Structure 1
Amino acid sequence: MKTNLLAVTLLLSSSASFMTQADTILHAFNWKYSEVKEKAQEITQLGYKKVLVSPAYKSTGDAWWARYQPQDYRVIDNPLGDTDDFKQMIAALKDNGVDTYADIVFNHMANEASQRSDLNFPGSKILSQYSQQSEKYQSITVFGDLSQNLFTASDFHPAGCIGDYTNVWEVQNKRLCGGNGDPGLPDLTDNSWVVSQQQAYLKALKTMGVKGFRVDAAKHMTMSHINKVFTPEIKSGTHVFGEIIANGGRGHVDYDRFLAPYLQQTDHGAYDFPLFSQIRKAFAFGGTMKHLVDPGAFGQALPNHRAITFSVTHDIPLNTGFRNQILNETDEKLANAYIFGRDGGVPLVYSDHNESNDNGRWQDLYKRSDIKGMIKFHNATQGRGMKVVNSDDCFILFKREHLGVVGINKCDQGKDVWVNTAVDNLYWHRNYRDTLSNDVQRVSSQWHKFYLPARSARMWLME
């Protein structure tokens, strides 16, 4: 018994350590695997350590959302590329010191009710395709026997749409539906066959070199299902984090009923939606930057080693129900400075191909100059302690030990912030250069004034 407890302790410590070490993630949303491969060197030069790519399995249709409707785990074959493309991408990223993270969808399969009435996946049409092009599909098989269906009707919950999104049982046992008579996405059970096939898929991706898994729609899976699939063997050496959308932290129904149990019953990371809610409050009209001083102390941010931090995720601009959470463009830049400047969490940068039709707002965001400067600051101060020096309704100024100072001013007038450099341990006779504007502060006395321009952020890094 002592040996087993020790093994569990070591496993949990290893998992927590891996999440702590994980660094900035580029969410290459809906990028072709070949595109990621071609940009591997650029990605590492920009300072990224991980790339999260869109779901890799059999799926059809050109729309981005089609990637979230799996037809078959056993082959990678979709408009973003096939198994060979996926392997080449992993190799190119690895050669440049960057890990590949895979987005996985285990809650449901594709909604194909308009094409057929059965729940056989991938179904007779695709099985026939496999048979007619056997050489091609055998060469890109990830695991399993392509002559048989992967799932049948017995592997799904009974049909029925979620009606109450605060009801845990409904959310985790019924279907995500689109309304107007849509029968929804067939919802998988956690029977032994489903679990074994999902495990086989994860093991195959790990064998290819995948180092992390984003669990899509984790809110809609039972904790039993998640823990059955993610065994200690599968989690070993990987960074696992779930997407559980919540509109707040402790005390909010989404957090208390879904995110808190997930954190309590798994050792996985998660998107820090509580922190995102605090960020939106801070930047809202009449909000105060004091919301960002220590949100974790009040249950309004996840523990540092488990948090995936962000200013936007793909669901926010791409789904009508979440678009009200899009920050003002300037506020989003300031929020990014906070996310990259603070101690704790793994920052995620969402970069698309304008799938949301927002005038290319997030297109090529990954290489925008301000993001590049923020990553530089983040990488240089990784693991260094954080202390908030001063704040009010308009601004927050904090430091990362003696190495860096971050100032964010959301208001329309500039701010002078005086800092006692002796108390706050900033080095004298050293330059602190802003990674965003190239402004230089020469600290040479006990009291130093940091000026924060209106609607701007500064991330001064010691030279």
Structure 2
Amino acid sequence: MNYSKSLFLSAMAACGFSGTAHADAILHAFNWSYSDVTTHAQSIAEAGYKKVLISPAMKSSGNEWWARYQPQDLRVIDSPLGNKEDLAAMIAALKAQNVDVYADVVLNHMANESWKRDDLNYPGSDVLNEYAQNASYFAKQTLFGDLTYNNLSPNDFHPEGCITNWGDPGHVQYWRLCGGAGDKGLPDLDPNHWVVSQQRLYLQALKDMGVKGFRIDAVKHMSQYQIDQVFTPDITSGMHVFGEVITSGGKGDSSYDSFLAPYLNNTNHSAYDFPLFASIRQAFSINGGMNQLHDPLAYGQALESSRSITFTITHDIPTNDGFRYQIMNESDEALAYAYILGKDGGTPLIYSDNLPDAEDRDNGRWADVWNRTDMKQMLKFHNAMQGKSMKVLHSDQCLLMFQRGKEGVVGINKCGEERSYTVDTYQNEFNWFVPYKDVLSGATETVSGQYHTFNIPARTARMYML
């Protein structure tokens, strides 16, 4: 091991990272109000979640979900989802249930308000007047700073201009995210000394409130310099930090090689496992096979377990036209959840949204996923198998079977007819004469000899455990 790598690993150990803790499932309470999370704190814990990821806590306006990703002011928590007092109450309620809070943070840009003003002074005169007129209220919602002044000026932004070359990291990191029809885009922050100092104060204030992890939105659009300057050892110590770097696949895919690989190589952060997601989607496609999930890491099509945030859907997929093609069939999505919650490695992220009716294009499909009976049973299996080794027993086009220690067995059949596999219980250690019970159906299997055949019904997952 070279000296620099040794220092890197020592620094990770000093940060107090725990692989087991980071494998605990996260509920992504997307666009939930903080008071709704507080109300459901006990149910969230009872369902088996150990972490809750909340939408950005800052000053923002507008009822649309995307407005939460357009910061007006990082010094204040006040949005339609709640204020600083609501956030504090939520953190306390979840802490009482031994559930941690992770916060989504937006550091790449500020709100696009070109439709109402030409300047880049943030939060702007309208918001400053609002602060002045409601001084006692906003004093309670302040994280840091003096609200009688703007926090940012035109000097704190990159020059105006929209991203046109999405394959060029320089273009993606120094120009603006824009819509169509002449949109000027989201003002892109320049990581100068002042900007970096304010972003550090923001993250430290959230950490001081009890937040235990950060999801970095649009980190693909941030330069490595900015990431390094903002996420200092003091900020990241004891925290679970992971970034959103959207790719179309793993090693060999240009988006992976240009964006995700450098992010992983230059930080100790985790990241959304888009390579594994691409493998999952391919495995469940008509022409794909479950053998593509036999060992995707070996082929560079999944991230290292300790740094992987696994998922079957993210908030961008149903809410953006450009990603909706990635929505999986509901049955396939349920089977994919059995895979990410059954397997060893990675931190499973379970998406459950609360979108306004006008923005919900899927009739509430994901609103109650978090508390669905099958999800709670899969979480039960996931939590019981923490720390158990994983061994793939068999994979083919239709069927994937793997063992978790000698206490658990998972079989996932994506095809339209029953599939079977006979296991050598000498070669693969099993307990005999005690029932393995499927947490999903209640069916049992009792091993009583060297060879035991598992029958997995069509379009079904079985998650057996002692």
The aligned counterpart of 1:95 is 96
2:457 to 444, 453, 458: 453
Code of the residue aligned with 2:329 in structure 1: it is: N
Q: Confirm whether residue 380 of structure 1 aligns to residue 380 of structure 2.
A: no
Q: CA deviation at 1:10?
A: 3.1
Code of the residue aligned with 1:65 in structure 2: it is: W
The aligned counterpart of 2:408 is 404
Counterpart CA distance in 1 for 2:206 and 2:26 is 18
The aligned counterpart of 2:10 is 10
The aligned counterpart of 1:262 is 263
The 3-state SS of whatever aligns with 1:116 is: coil
Q: CA deviation at 1:416?
A: 1.3
Q: CA deviation at 1:109?
A: 0.4
Counterpart CA distance in 1 for 2:267 and 2:230 is 12
Counterpart CA distance in 2 for 1:19 and 1:270 is 14
Counterpart CA distance in 1 for 2:21 and 2:28 is 18
The aligned counterpart of 1:202 is 203
Code of the residue aligned with 1:216 in structure 2: it is: D
Query: Deviations 1:409-457 (Å, cap 9, x if unpaired)?
Result: 0100101111111111011011111111111111121111111100110
Q: CA deviation at 1:131?
A: 0.8
Query: Deviations 1:173-192 (Å, cap 9, x if unpaired)?
Result: 00000111000000001111
Q: CA deviation at 1:93?
A: 0.4
Query: Deviations 1:31-51 (Å, cap 9, x if unpaired)?
Result: 000010111111111110000
Are the equivalent residues in 2 in contact too, given 1:373–1:435 (CA < 8 A)?
Answer: yes
Code of the residue aligned with 2:72 in structure 1: it is: Q
Q: CA deviation at 1:11?
A: 2.4
The aligned counterpart of 2:140 is 139
The aligned counterpart of 2:372 is 368
**Change in 2 beyond 3 A, CA 1:423/1:239:** same
Code of the residue aligned with 1:394 in structure 2: it is: C
Query: Deviations 1:216-241 (Å, cap 9, x if unpaired)?
Result: 00100011101110000110110000
Counterpart CA distance in 2 for 1:180 and 1:434 is 54
The aligned counterpart of 1:273 is 274
Code of the residue aligned with 2:18 in structure 1: it is: F
Are the equivalent residues in 1 in contact too, given 2:17–2:239 (CA < 8 A)?
Answer: no
Query: Deviations 1:50-75 (Å, cap 9, x if unpaired)?
Result: 00000000000000000000000111
* Structure 2 counterparts to residues 64-103 of structure 1, below 5 A: 64-103=65-104
Q: CA deviation at 1:13?
A: 2.1
CA RMSD of aligned residues (A): 1.5
Counterpart CA distance in 1 for 2:464 and 2:62 is 46
Q: CA deviation at 1:353?
A: 2.2
Are the equivalent residues in 2 in contact too, given 1:405–1:459 (CA < 8 A)?
Answer: yes
Decide which moves more: 355-364 or 401-410: 355-364
2:399 to 389, 395, 400: 395
**Change in 2 beyond 3 A, CA 1:406/1:182:** same
Counterpart CA distance in 2 for 1:168 and 1:10 is 30
Decide which moves more: 137-146 or 350-359: 350-359
TM-score (norm: length of structure 2): 0.97
1:437 to 438, 441, 466: 441
Structure 2: which 5+ runs fail to align? Answer: none
**Change in 2 beyond 3 A, CA 1:14/1:423:** farther
Are the equivalent residues in 2 in contact too, given 1:105–1:216 (CA < 8 A)?
Answer: yes
The 3-state SS of whatever aligns with 1:91 is: helix
The aligned counterpart of 2:186 is 185
* Structure 2 counterparts to residues 286-305 of structure 1, below 5 A: 286-305=287-306
The aligned counterpart of 1:323 is 324
The 3-state SS of whatever aligns with 1:129 is: helix
Counterpart CA distance in 2 for 1:87 and 1:16 is 24
Structure 1: which 5+ runs fail to align? Answer: none
Counterpart CA distance in 1 for 2:125 and 2:90 is 31
The 3-state SS of whatever aligns with 2:345 is: coil
The aligned counterpart of 1:336 is 337
Counterpart CA distance in 2 for 1:46 and 1:18 is 22
Are the equivalent residues in 2 in contact too, given 1:19–1:269 (CA < 8 A)?
Answer: no
Counterpart CA distance in 2 for 1:5 and 1:279 is 32
Are the equivalent residues in 1 in contact too, given 2:114–2:184 (CA < 8 A)?
Answer: yes
Identical pairs, percent: 56
Counterpart CA distance in 2 for 1:19 and 1:364 is 28
The 3-state SS of whatever aligns with 1:210 is: coil
Counterpart CA distance in 1 for 2:233 and 2:448 is 52
Q: CA deviation at 1:132?
A: 1.1
